[in-house]
Amino acid sequence: MESRKIQQVGSSTLAVSLPRDWAKNVGLRRGDLIYLEESEDGTLRVIPEHLRERKPREKSIVLNADLCVEAGMLKRIIMGNYALGVDLIRVTSSTRLSSLHVNEIRGAVRSLMGLGIMEETSSNVALQCSIDITKFPINTSIMRLYMIASTMHKEAMDAFQTGNVKMAEEIRHRQAEAETMFWAITRLVSVAQADHIVAKNIGIDDPMDLLWYRIVALCLERVSRWSQIIADQAVELEPVHATLGNYLIARIQEASDAAYGICHKSVNCLYTRDITIANDAIETYLKLQDTEEKLSKALCTYAKLKNQFFSVDRYFLGPNPPNPCAVSQLNLLLWCLRRIGELGSEISDIAIHRALRRDTKLSRTIVSE
């Protein structure tokens, strides 16, 4: 690290010289334009004009499919390289790509935004990513993933309430869309981490946001997965839906509304930085946790005591004992709602930490003398 003394130039201007070797390495000459970018921590970045709008170099890798002998391994390596910002992935084999490898390659292509097969032979497949990540602002991408996940949650519960199997089955398509958006965000964050200019272009000013957005995206993708499981249970429970008591269905819907509200508040708090609302979302999850435990226990208890107590009819209708599989599926559905609420509360934790990066009335930095 070199040091420079600040010089007085004229009556109101301060000046500092630039290191000669650095200027030569980046191609700066007399009269060239540079940009000064101030960071929140008080440091100043010097950016030559020709580097300010530069495009990132294309990254390429060669992947040896012969070493991917376990099922799913090749697909996960392709997706991992995509997430790391690799633009060209060449999958090769010393002999011939197996049908398993080809299926995993095509599965990865279907799951990843902008990735396509550019060349293909029996022993070689070239995958090219064509998307310009700077066209996807991080906040817009996060909100898009949230909208997919929250819609899945709502529609899965509507399918359960009404016994609509067709609606539940359609949710599977949305889960694939959520996964695609998640990997796009992961790629976005990875590339921005390696390039400060890209980070600036997609709306990230604080380096800590890179970590937090990655965790938020993971939480939202997990919400979509749990919503998919709720939809699966709605399909499984359709034959016995008429035997479920109105009281039970209403209690499950209350738990769903709580989980949905937690996620909604949490994502909004990421941008509003409202610590009070984020804290309320976390407290709501603690209540939801207690509700899930009590309701799950009641389900098992009343299923066992069917036809012995009148109150059991609030949970299960009809003269016959409830199907044990149905009781298990209802408990799984409740667990899904609890997990969705928990993921929302984790986003609220991040929202609080993000808000505390700035001075507020609640918390402010003391400058030592």
**Could you report the per-residue pLDDT of 95-148, keeping only the tens digit for each?**
999 999 999 999 999 999 999 999 999 999 999 998 887 788 999 999 999 999
Domain that holds residue 24: 7-52
Which of 113, 129, 145 is the last residue in one of the domains?
129
Check: CB of residue 317 under 8 Å from CB of residue 242. Answer: yes
Q: Are 117 and 141 members of one domain?
A: no
Instruction: Identify the pLDDT of residue 312.
Output: 61
Give the whole-angstrom CA distance, residue 42 versus residue 38. 6
Structural domain count, the chain: 3
Residue 251, both tokens = 């209690």
Instruction: Identify the pLDDT of residue 300.
Output: 85
Cα atoms in the 13 Å half-sphere on the side-chain side of 320:
7
CA dihedral of 330, 331, 337, 340, whole degrees rounded to 10: -130
Q: Are 194 and 225 members of one domain?
A: yes
- Work out the average pLDDT over 29-53: 75
Interval 265-277: pLDDT, tens: 999 999 999 999 9
Which of 129, 148, 166 is the last residue in one of the domains?
129
**Residue 316 forms beta bridges with which residues?**
244
204 in a structural domain:
yes
Residue 28, both tokens = 């700066």
Task: Give the mean pLDDT of the chain.
Answer: 88
Residue 81, both tokens = 């390289």
Torsions phi, psi for 322 (to 5 deg): -65, 150
- Distance of alpha carbon 170 from its chain centroid, rounded? 21
Residue 98, both tokens = 């197996």
85 in a structural domain:
yes
Q: Are 166 and 211 members of one domain?
A: yes
Global pTM reads: 0.82
Instruction: Identify the pLDDT of residue 203.
Output: 83
Q: Are 197 and 331 members of one domain?
A: yes
272 in a structural domain:
yes
* CATH label of the domain that carries residue 117: 3.30.110
Instruction: Identify the pLDDT of residue 133.
Output: 77
Interval 70-109: pLDDT, tens: 999 999 999 999 999 999 999 999 999 999 999 999 999 9
